């Protein structure tokens, strides 16, 4: 017998975006306020887990058609690439660079290569956590 | 050309042997091998005039100069004597083996490769002046001897004998290496000559005696001295040419060589003199007594070799006494030792070859089945007769002269007054005499039980007949040498023995002629050893004729009390006992291993903490405790208690979650927002995962825990908790340097362009760690995926195996 989870599913549809936005906020704010790639990634994972609870595995996979193992790989590559990129500029491995720019919409913004590194962390966390949950949950 | 390279000539020749054996099938491979020792013998003979004048020749090649290790070929009287024995008897043994080993049935390629390797090793041992390269060659003799004993590797006996000799000689060799290293450190050189000349600098060192004892372990194991002789009888499983060469003439004398070579260094030590002469005499007695028990021809010869080696060893010990006394009487011993060494090599080689011939022609070596072979094998009998009587010490054979010298020096020993020799010295001539009687008995037993008496040819596996002439050449040459040694002892003494004596006692003589003792067969009626010899012959003859009456005495010794049983026991113990021991503590339960680890951890921590006085309690820098912290701590403790006490899984997981959230609260209280955030989310996800995973598991139940091991668990858990707490407290109280956090505070914006120190540390200052942490996370994710998707042992479906 299938229960009608309409309330759960409807609230999930709303909350999912709120959590996602919050995780993106925490990720971007990480350099100056509490947060960063790791927590951001975990929160995104939390949002996806919520989807998994409200719907079933197939639905979520259809909605988010990513292969999360590839997400892990992309994340690692991004982090390692950022770290290794500094070699091209004849500075030691893992030297970051940053500068302030006056962007059209955001005003005075600091752009930092650490952010690229952190997005690698973010992707790895999301990819690894979802891989674990999907493979354990999908194992029947 | 540097003659140091001649040491490697046999090993180099060994490279071509397998090819020759496969390609040149028409000719026995041994003929090619024969060239090597003959050439070397002729070459080394040219050094005789040099050493006879008391001089020496040196040739060297640096191997590892930075460590002071080199191959040094140092030819003085002692080295040359041994070199000539090795190459001379080597040539005869190769000749003999050509007729002994069948070219179609045997793996001759292997045999001659091993034999040539052995020859190189032996030449290296006796010529090396550098102790490290000496050790290298020493172990090479052990290995090549191992290979030769196990030549017929399909037989159990061969493998057992090879392993036994390997274990014992390599064990001794390692001890010897220890001695060498100590000597090298004390004398600051590895060269034996420099060690001798710098002797006065270090001979008083307390380690000096230890070096002597360690070195003797090497010498005693190699030279089959008591109680290490047990490998030699078992090594008789080797082909007879090997027994004749290795286990009578050369390898077993390597220990004697070592003792003689190091006499100039260690003669100062009373421990050395007592050990060498005492163990030698004990071995002499033991070996000669038990030789009569043997029923195997080669067994008799093995025990006789043990006994004769003991004789030479005791003489070498007595030879060291000459350093402590000006009396020329004691100078006899070293001469006697070297002279008997030559004698023994010659007659024992011939006897082994005869034993091989008897085995080859009759099919058995069991003395109980043999008898009356004299009429069918007259030449073999003559050779055995000469060798046997020389071994017994009867004129007109070489053995008589060295036996007289031996008894003479043993009688002289009781006049030596240092080191308690005046009280115990009387034992030396007495034991020597009794051993000589038994030597006489087993020599006669060997010769006459085999060749005379009742003919029992019908019981023999083969119809006996005289050996082919080729097989007889070598023993005949050796037998002629035995007689020659009796008639020209002083020529041998001048050219071979005296230079060797001088080399073994360089501080005493400046010219070989001073070391020479005039050997003569007849000393007149006042000569004590002469009467001792008469006594030996009389009592020995009496014992030999009544041998049937008293031989059962040997049956009285129970097999369990022998040294072989001890060896077997030790081997069994080390194999089965260790197995049992490791099975006992490696019981396969993770619980047990964790117990070891935690117990060790907590005991070590607490002991070290208090033994080293590292524990310190400093309350001054503690922060004030807030009410929130106390409440939160109570929650955490309650949660932990619930985890331990809970009877079902779900409640344990929930309690664990509670602990996790209270930890997050602690992070909030202690102003770590990043940690609090991460901890909260991680806790949530891991609780979810636990619930997912544990849904499949059965209800919590005990895993065979008894009250007893629960108690052990509790004690160890308390111990670990206690030690961690103590360490944390004293670590807090022992802050030695200021924290580096100030640097981060100062530079977080200026250098790294950020405001959140935690995140900046994670991605910038120490991003390296983060890089590998996300790698760990990736590996974990992929590992979970792999474990779940790739279960090969899943019941009923093996499609994934394809």
Per CB-CB distance under 8 Å, the chain B contacts of A52 are none
* Residue ranges of domains in chain A: 6-137
- Tell me how far CA of residue B758 lies from CA of A11, A31, A46, B139, B668, in angstroms: 34, 9, 22, 62, 14
Indicate the residue of A39, A96, A137 with minimum beta-carbon distance to B764. Answer: A96
User: Using alpha carbons only, what angle is made at residue B284 by residues B281 and B290, rounded to the nearest 5 degrees?
Assistant: 140
In A9-48, the residues whose Cβ lies within 8 Å of chain B are 26, 30-39, 42-43, 45-46
Non-local (6+) Cβ contacts of B314 within 8 A are B276, B277, B278, B280, B281, B284, B410, B428, B432
Q: Do B756 and A36 touch (CB under 8 A)?
A: yes
Q: What is the pLDDT of residue A1?
A: 46
> In a mutagenesis test of the A interface, which of B686, B756, B774 is the best target, namely the one with the most A β-carbons within 10 Å?
B774
Q: Classify residue B621 as exposed, middle or buried by CB count within 10 Å of its CB (0-12, 13-18, 19+).
A: exposed
CA B515 to chain centre: 35
pLDDT tens-digit series, residues B418-447:
666 667 777 888 888 999 999 999 998 888
CA B698, B702, B704, B710 dihedral sign is: positive
Q: Do B774 and A76 touch (CB under 8 A)?
A: yes
Distance (Å, rounded) from C-alpha A51 to C-alpha A133? 12
| B5: DSSP letter | G
Rounded to the nearest 10 degrees, what angle do helices B427-451 and B297-321 cross at? 160
Per CB-CB distance under 8 Å, the chain B contacts of A19 are none
- Among the listed residues B162, B147, B161, B13, the one whose alpha carbon sits nearest the alpha carbon of residue B87: B13
Distance (Å, rounded) from C-alpha B510 to C-alpha B48? 17
ipTM of the complex: 0.92
> In a mutagenesis test of the B interface, which of A43, A45, A72 is the best target, namely the one with the most B β-carbons within 10 Å?
A72
Q: Classify residue B119 as exposed, middle or buried by CB count within 10 Å of its CB (0-12, 13-18, 19+).
A: buried
Q: Of B586, B606, B640, at which residue does a domain stop?
A: B586
Contact B504, B78 (CB under 8 A): yes
Per CB-CB distance under 8 Å, the chain A contacts of B760 are 31, 114
Tokens 């077993």 appear where? Answer: B252
Q: Which position has the higher pLDDT, B477 or B457?
A: B477
Q: Which position has the higher pLDDT, B119 or B206?
A: B119
Examine the domain organization and report whether B344 and B467 are in the same domain. yes
Per CB-CB distance under 8 Å, the chain B contacts of A46 are 681, 684-685
- Dihedral of the alpha carbons of B511, B513, B514, B520, in degrees to the nearest 10: 160
Tokens (6 digits) for B652:
């344990």
Indicate the residue of B758, B762, B778 with minimum beta-carbon distance to A72. Answer: B778
Q: Do B674 and A31 touch (CB under 8 A)?
A: no
pLDDT tens-digit series, residues A3-24:
778 899 999 999 999 999 999 9
Tokens (6 digits) for B734:
């022992």
> Is A128 an 8 Å CB contact of chain B?
yes
Examine the domain organization and report whether B539 and B575 are in the same domain. no
Instruction: Tally A–B CB contacts below 8 A.
Output: 136
> In a mutagenesis test of the B interface, which of A36, A74, A115 is the best target, namely the one with the most B β-carbons within 10 Å?
A36
Q: Do A135 and B759 touch (CB under 8 A)?
A: no
Q: Is the pLDDT of residue B448 over 90?
A: no
Tokens 């590992």 appear where? Answer: B783
Distance (Å, rounded) from C-alpha B445 to C-alpha B152? 29
Residue B303 belongs to some domain of the structure? yes
Q: What is the pLDDT of residue B560?
A: 66
- Tell me how far CA of residue A121 lies from CA of A87, A125, B748, in angstroms: 20, 6, 21
Cβ atoms < 10 Å from Cβ of A65:
7
- Dihedral of the alpha carbons of A8, A13, A16, A17, in degrees to the nearest 10: -150
Distance (Å, rounded) from C-alpha B709 to C-alpha B126? 63
Distance (Å, rounded) from C-alpha A17 to C-alpha A13? 7
| B63: DSSP letter | E
Examine the domain organization and report whether B578 and B541 are in the same domain. no
Terminal-residue alpha carbon distance, chain A: 19
Lowest mean pLDDT among B3-12, B98-107, B699-708, B783-792: B699-708
Examine the domain organization and report whether B454 and B580 are in the same domain. no
- Tell me how far CA of residue B223 lies from CA of B161, B232, B254, B296, B564, in angstroms: 16, 9, 7, 21, 17
Residue B338 belongs to some domain of the structure? yes
Q: Do B681 and A127 touch (CB under 8 A)?
A: no
Give the DSSP per-residue string, B341-395.
Answer: HHHHHHHHHHHHHHHHHHHHHHS--BTTT---GGGT-HHHHHHHHHHHHHHHT-T
Radius of gyration of chain B (CA): 38
- Tell me how far CA of residue B204 lies from CA of B199, B209, B274, B400, B556, in angstroms: 9, 9, 18, 41, 48
What is the three-class DSSP state of B522?
coil
> In a mutagenesis test of the A interface, which of B759, B772, B782 is the best target, namely the one with the most A β-carbons within 10 Å?
B759
Lowest mean pLDDT among B245-249, B419-423, B755-759: B419-423
> In a mutagenesis test of the B interface, which of A29, A39, A66 is the best target, namely the one with the most B β-carbons within 10 Å?
A39
Q: Do A33 and B755 touch (CB under 8 A)?
A: yes
Distance from CA of A15 to the nearest CA of B (A): 16
Examine the domain organization and report whether B574 and B523 are in the same domain. no
Helices and strands (H and E) in chain B: how many: 37, 2
| Number of domains into which chain B is organized | 2
- % of chain B residues with pLDDT over 90: 35
Examine the domain organization and report whether B497 and B525 are in the same domain. yes
Tokens (6 digits) for B61:
């090649």
| A32: DSSP letter | T
Distance (Å, rounded) from C-alpha B80 to C-alpha B58? 12
In A68-107, the residues whose Cβ lies within 8 Å of chain B are 68-69, 72-73, 75-76, 79-80, 83, 94, 96, 98
Indicate the residue of A46, A79, A136 with minimum beta-carbon distance to B788. Answer: A136
pLDDT tens-digit series, residues B551-608:
777 777 666 677 888 888 888 888 888 898 989 888 888 888 999 999 999 999 999 9
- % of chain B residues with pLDDT over 70: 95
- Among the listed residues B326, B321, B341, the one whose alpha carbon sits nearest the alpha carbon of residue B418: B321
Q: Average pLDDT for residues B381-410, to the nearest whole number?
A: 87
Per CB-CB distance under 8 Å, the chain B contacts of A127 are 778, 781
Size of chain A, expressed as the number of residues it contains: 140
Q: Do A31 and B755 touch (CB under 8 A)?
A: yes
Q: Do B784 and A131 touch (CB under 8 A)?
A: yes
Exposure class string for B126-160: b at 16+ Cβ within 10 A, else e: bbbbbbbbbbbbbbbbbbbbbbbbbbeeeeeebee
Examine the domain organization and report whether B427 and B573 are in the same domain. no
Q: Do B774 and A79 touch (CB under 8 A)?
A: yes
Q: Do A83 and B771 touch (CB under 8 A)?
A: yes
Give the DSSP per-residue string, B733-771.
Answer: HT--S--THHHHHHHTTTTT--S-HHHHIIIIITHHHHH
Q: What is the pLDDT of residue B764?
A: 87
Tokens (6 digits) for B199:
């002797």
Q: What is the pLDDT of residue B559?
A: 66
pLDDT tens-digit series, residues B403-420:
888 888 888 877 777 666
Distance from CA of A4 to the nearest CA of B (A): 23
Examine the domain organization and report whether B367 and B290 are in the same domain. yes
Q: Average pLDDT for residues B219-235, to the nearest whole number?
A: 91
Q: Do B756 and A33 touch (CB under 8 A)?
A: yes
Distance from CA of A12 to the nearest CA of B (A): 17
Residue B135 belongs to some domain of the structure? no
| B453: DSSP letter | S
Q: Is the pLDDT of residue B278 over 60?
A: yes
Nearest residue in A to B784, CA atom = A132
Lowest mean pLDDT among A128-137, B552-561, B565-574, B735-744: B552-561
Q: Which position has the higher pLDDT, B190 or B467?
A: B190
Non-local (6+) Cβ contacts of A21 within 8 A are none
Q: What is the pLDDT of residue B650?
A: 82
Residue B567 belongs to some domain of the structure? yes
Contact B212, B182 (CB under 8 A): no
CA B433, B438, B444, B447 dihedral sign is: negative
Average confidence score pLDDT of chain B: 86
Per CB-CB distance under 8 Å, the chain B contacts of A117 are 763, 767, 770
- Tell me how far CA of residue B146 lies from CA of A129, B14, B120, B151, B497, in angstroms: 61, 17, 15, 9, 31
Tokens (6 digits) for B267:
């003669």
Q: Do B673 and A114 touch (CB under 8 A)?
A: no
Tokens 């925490």 appear where? Answer: A26
Per CB-CB distance under 8 Å, the chain B contacts of A118 are 759, 763
B800 confidence band (pLDDT: 50, 70, 90) = very low
pLDDT tens-digit series, residues B122-166:
999 999 999 999 999 999 999 999 999 999 999 999 999 999 999
Nearest residue in B to A27, CA atom = B759
Three-state DSSP string of B335-352: HHHHHHHHHHHHHHHHHH
Distance (Å, rounded) from C-alpha A16 to C-alpha A46? 9
Q: Do B767 and A117 touch (CB under 8 A)?
A: yes
Distance (Å, rounded) from C-alpha B88 to C-alpha B91? 5
Distance (Å, rounded) from C-alpha B660 to C-alpha B640? 10
Per CB-CB distance under 8 Å, the chain A contacts of B674 are 34-36, 39
Give me the domain span that covers residue B577: 556-586
- Dihedral of the alpha carbons of B683, B684, B689, B695, in degrees to the nearest 10: 110
Per CB-CB distance under 8 Å, the chain A contacts of B789 are 135
Examine the domain organization and report whether B298 and B365 are in the same domain. yes
Q: Classify residue B623 as exposed, middle or buried by CB count within 10 Å of its CB (0-12, 13-18, 19+).
A: exposed
> In a mutagenesis test of the B interface, which of A50, A67, A114, A122 is the best target, namely the one with the most B β-carbons within 10 Å?
A114
Nearest residue in A to B671, CA atom = A34
CA B768, A78, B782, B675 dihedral sign is: positive
Per CB-CB distance under 8 Å, the chain B contacts of A94 are 767-768, 771
Residue B189 belongs to some domain of the structure? no
Pairing of strands B57-64, A107-112: unpaired
Per CB-CB distance under 8 Å, the chain B contacts of A137 are 692
Examine the domain organization and report whether B366 and B474 are in the same domain. yes
Q: Is the pLDDT of residue B499 over 60?
A: yes
Distance from CA of B658 to the nearest CA of A (A): 19
pLDDT tens-digit series, residues B459-492:
777 777 777 888 899 999 999 998 888 888 888 8
Indicate the residue of A36, A80, A132 with minimum beta-carbon distance to B674. Answer: A36
Distance from CA of B756 to the nearest CA of A (A): 4
Size of chain B, expressed as the number of residues it contains: 802
Nearest residue in B to A112, CA atom = B753
Q: Average pLDDT for residues B69-78, to the nearest whole number?
A: 90
> In a mutagenesis test of the A interface, which of B753, B762, B780, B789 is the best target, namely the one with the most A β-carbons within 10 Å?
B753
Per CB-CB distance under 8 Å, the chain B contacts of A96 are 752-753, 763-764, 767
Examine the domain organization and report whether B366 and B497 are in the same domain. yes
Contact B384, B351 (CB under 8 A): yes
Cβ atoms < 10 Å from Cβ of B586:
11
């Amino acid at each position: 017998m299938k229960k009608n989870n309409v309330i759960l599913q409807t609230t999930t549809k709303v909350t999912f975006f709120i959590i996602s936005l919050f995780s993106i906020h925490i990720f971007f704010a990480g350099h100056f306020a509490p947060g960063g790639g790791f927590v951001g990634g975990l929160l995104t994972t939390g949002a996806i887990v919520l989807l998994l609870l409200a719907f079933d595995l197939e639905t979520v996979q259809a909605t988010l058609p990513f292969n999360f193992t590839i997400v892990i790989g992309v994340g690692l590559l991004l982090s390692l690439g950022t770290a290794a990129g500094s070699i091209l500029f004849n500075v030691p491995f893992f030297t970051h660079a940053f500068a302030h720019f006056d962007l059209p919409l955001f005003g005075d913004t600091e752009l930092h290569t650490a952010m690229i590194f952190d997005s690698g962390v973010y992707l790895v966390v999301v990819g690894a956590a979802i891989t674990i949950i999907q493979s354990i949950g999908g194992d029947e | 050309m540097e003659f140091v390279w001649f040491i490697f000539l046999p090993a180099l020749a060994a490279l071509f042997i397998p090819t020759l054996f496969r390609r040149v099938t028409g000719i026995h491979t041994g003929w090619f091998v024969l060239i090597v020792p003959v050439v070397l013998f002729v070459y080394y003979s040219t050094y005789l005039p040099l050493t006879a004048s008391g001089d020496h020749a040196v040739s060297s090649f640096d191997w590892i100069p930075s460590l002071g290790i080199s191959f040094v070929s140092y030819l003085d009287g002692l080295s040359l004597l041994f070199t000539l024995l090795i190459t001379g008897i080597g040539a005869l043994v190769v000749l003999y083996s050509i007729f002994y080993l069948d070219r179609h049935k045997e793996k001759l390629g292997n045999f001659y490769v091993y034999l040539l390797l052995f020859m190189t090793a032996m030449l290296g041992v006796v010529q090396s002046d550098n102790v490290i390269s000496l050790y290298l060659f020493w172990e090479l003799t052990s290995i090549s001897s191992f290979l030769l004993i196990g030549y017929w590797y399909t037989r159990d006996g061969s493998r057992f004998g090879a392993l036994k000799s390997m274990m014992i000689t390599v064990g001794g060799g390692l001890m010897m290496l220890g001695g060498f290293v100590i000597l090298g450190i004390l004398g600051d050189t590895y060269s034996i000559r420099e060690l001798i000349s710098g002797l006065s600098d270090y001979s008083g060192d307390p380690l000096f005696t230890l070096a002597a004892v360690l070195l003797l372990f090497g010498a005693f194991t190699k030279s089959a001295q008591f109680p290490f002789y047990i490998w030699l009888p078992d090594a008789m499983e080797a082909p007879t040419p090997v027994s004749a060469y290795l286990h009578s003439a050369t390898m077993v004398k390597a220990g004697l060589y070592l003792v003689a070579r190091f006499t100039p260094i260690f003669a100062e030590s009373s421990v050395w003199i007592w050990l060498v002469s005492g163990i030698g005499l004990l071995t002499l007695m033991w070996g000669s007594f038990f030789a009569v028990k043997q029923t195997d021809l080669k067994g008799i010869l093995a025990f006789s070799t043990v006994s004769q080696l003991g004789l030479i060893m005791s003489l070498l010990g007595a030879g060291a006494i000459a350093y402590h006394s000006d009396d020329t009487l004691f100078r006899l011993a070293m001469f006697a030792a070297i002279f008997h060494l030559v004698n023994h090599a010659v007659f024992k080689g011939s006897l082994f070859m005869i034993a091989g011939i008897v085995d080859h022609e009759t099919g058995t070596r069991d003395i109980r089945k043999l008898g009356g072979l004299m009429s069918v094998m007259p030449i073999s009998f003559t050779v055995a007769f000469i060798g046997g009587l020389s071994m017994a010490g009867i004129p007109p054979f070489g053995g008589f002269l060295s036996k007289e010298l031996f008894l003479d020096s043993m009688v002289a020993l009781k006049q030596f007054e240092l080191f308690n020799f005046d009280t115990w010295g009387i034992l030396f001539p007495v034991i020597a005499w009794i051993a000589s009687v038994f030597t006489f008995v087993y020599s006669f037993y060997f010769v006459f039980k085999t060749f005379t008496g009742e003919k029992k040819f019908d019981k023999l596996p083969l119809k006996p007949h005289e050996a082919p002439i080729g097989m007889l050449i070598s023993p005949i040459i050796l037998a002629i040498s035995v007689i020659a040694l009796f008639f020209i002892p002083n020529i041998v003494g001048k050219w071979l023995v005296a230079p060797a004596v001088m080399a073994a006692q360089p501080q005493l003589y400046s010219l070989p002629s001073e070391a020479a003792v005039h050997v003569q067969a007849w000393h007149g009626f006042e000569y004590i050893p002469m009467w001792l010899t008469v006594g030996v012959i009389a009592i020995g003859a009496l014992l030999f004729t009544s041998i049937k009456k008293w031989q059962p005495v040997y049956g009285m010794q129970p097999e369990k009390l022998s040294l072989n049983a001890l060896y077997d026991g030790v081997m069994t113990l080390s194999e089965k006992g260790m197995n049992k021991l490791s099975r006992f503590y490696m019981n396969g339960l993770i619980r047990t291993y964790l117990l070891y680890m935690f117990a060790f951890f907590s005991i070590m921590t607490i002991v070290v903490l208090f033994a080293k006085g590292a524990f310190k309690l400093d309350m001054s820098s503690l922060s004030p405790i807030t009410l929130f912290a106390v409440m939160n701590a109570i929650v955490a403790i309650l949660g932990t208690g619930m985890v331990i006490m809970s009877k079902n899984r779900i409640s344990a997981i929930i309690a664990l979650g509670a602990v996790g959230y209270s930890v997050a609260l602690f992070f909030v209280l202690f102003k770590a927002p990043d940690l609090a955030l991460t901890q909260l989310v991680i806790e949530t996800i891991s609780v979810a995962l636990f619930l997912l995973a544990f849904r499949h598991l059965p209800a919590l139940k005990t895993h065979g825990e008894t009250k007893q091991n629960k108690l052990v668990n509790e004690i160890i858990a308390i111990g670990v908790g206690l030690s961690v707490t103590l360490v944390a407290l004293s670590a807090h109280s022992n802050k030695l340097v200021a924290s580096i956090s100030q640097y981060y505070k100062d530079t977080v914006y200026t250098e790294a362009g950020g405001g959140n120190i935690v995140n900046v540390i994670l991605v910038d200052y120490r991003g390296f760690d983060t890089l590998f942490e996300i790698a760990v996370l990736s590996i974990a994710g992929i590992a979970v995926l792999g474990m779940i998707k790739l279960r090969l042992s899943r019941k009923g479906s093996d499609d994934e195996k394809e």
